[in-house]
Amino acid sequence: MNSKIAITSFASVSPLGNDPVAVWESYQSEESLIKPNSIGTATVFASFLAEESKQKVEALRLAESNYKSLDDSVLFAILASRQAVATAGWKPDTVFGINIGSSRGATQLFEKHLTEFLSTGKAQTLASPTTTLGNISSWVAQDLQNNGPEISHSITCSTALHALLNGIAWLRSGMADKFLVGGSEAPLTPFTIAQMQAMKIYSSVESDNPYPCRTFDFSKTKNTMVLGEAAAVICMENETKENALAYVEGFGYATENLTHSVSISAEATCFQKSMKMALGKTNPEEIDVIVTHSPGTIQGDLSERKAIEIVFGKNLPLLTNNKWKIGHTFGASGMLSVEMALLMLQHNQFINVPFLESQQQIRPLQKIMVNAVGFGGNAVSIVLSKNE
């Protein structure tokens, strides 16, 4: 890279909580936050926001009349963005870019308005402007009164890391000095859940296992993906910063040659390419941890593991992820993985996946890779290095 990209803050609203201390404390527990929940007329496994975060979302919804008609995905993003910008020390007159993407956008509102239309044949006035994908970044910009560029996009489950790539491009080009990037999802809706069940990748609610989403568990005989809701963002700045939490040392991206609209090859060629690109000239042995994408599906988890073995050989880094704990948050998931990586670097402590064979940390954590891939085979890998 021509210049260092500093991460100066992060924030999230998720089942783990809203405060970084609470999030870290939650990671110390081996309890899954995925529970049976009623969604529509069905009972399914899902992972909702922590209670305190729910209260903050409702308080925000009632704070201004304009916010009452916004989708949860927008409110999640506003709460996380306010916190991240304040922590980074960006003043009210700071100009920065915003790219907060979403796999599905305003999911809850869209399904609500469509249901009403199918029932009555009429659409509400706000049905279009409040259900567009651009609704998220534009409302965050409105809330923060920012005058910089604002971008929205959907690249399914790798959306947040593609936002990070966009931020890097803007910063390195000199077109911006600061960028707020991330993803937001509120996908716990009847139609969205039904889509996942139709693909036969969703975890069965009949399971009595304490870990309904068994990410990177290669003994499973059924798919175990579970959905969760969240928003997660980071603040990025050019050059070395005293307040940097970490630096983006490398990045990579690749697209799979698909045989099916949601398929991935047996050895995840896209991940092999993205990880090699992210490593660049870095010795693979310098990577201490990989926060994997591993959504809990048999093929997805196994193919990523094979790709890691091909790239890293016999000396694998420590492997971890958070979907076993909070489910798959679609477009926000990659940034929640970045948050997990930043917390591990800050605390110099590796977080194990409870149902895998225990992995032992034998050296200080300095460099962590984060992976994400979405339907369509769009893989992204990011290497984060600790600020010394």
Choose among 295, 268, 247: nearest CA to 103.
295
CATH class belonging to 5-238: alpha beta
Query: Model-level pTM?
Result: 0.96
Q: Determine phi and psi for 386, rounding to 5 degrees.
A: -70, 140
Residues 61-103: pLDDT tens digits?
A: 999 999 999 999 999 999 999 999 999 999 989 999 999 999 9
R_g of the chain computed on alpha carbons? 20
pLDDT at 258 over 90: no
Q: Are 103 and 156 in contact (CB under 8 A)?
A: yes
What residues contact residue 25 under an 8 Å CB cut-off, 6+ apart?
Answer: none
What is the Cα–Cα distance from 188 to 286, expressed in whole angstroms?
38
Query: What's the confidence (pLDDT) of residue 263?
Result: 58
Q: Are 236 and 168 in contact (CB under 8 A)?
A: yes
Q: Domain boundaries in the chain?
A: 5-238, 247-386
Q: Are 381 and 251 in contact (CB under 8 A)?
A: yes
Q: Which element (helix H / strand E) includes 163?
A: helix 159-173
Query: What's the confidence (pLDDT) of residue 1?
Result: 43
Q: Are 130 and 109 in contact (CB under 8 A)?
A: yes
Cβ count within 10 A of residue 177: 16
Q: Are 154 and 136 in contact (CB under 8 A)?
A: no
- In SS3 terms, 287-355 reads as CCEEECCCCCCHHHHHHHHHHHHHHHCCCCCEEECCHHHHCECHHHHHHHHHHHHHHHHHHCCCCCCCC
Supply the mean pLDDT for the chain.
93
pLDDT band at residue 262 under the 50/70/90 scheme: low
Mean per-residue pLDDT, 35-44: 93
What is the Cα–Cα distance from 107 to 73, expressed in whole angstroms?
8
The pLDDT > 70 percentage for the chain reads 97
CATH topology of domain 247-386: Peroxisomal Thiolase; Chain A, domain 1 (3.40.47)
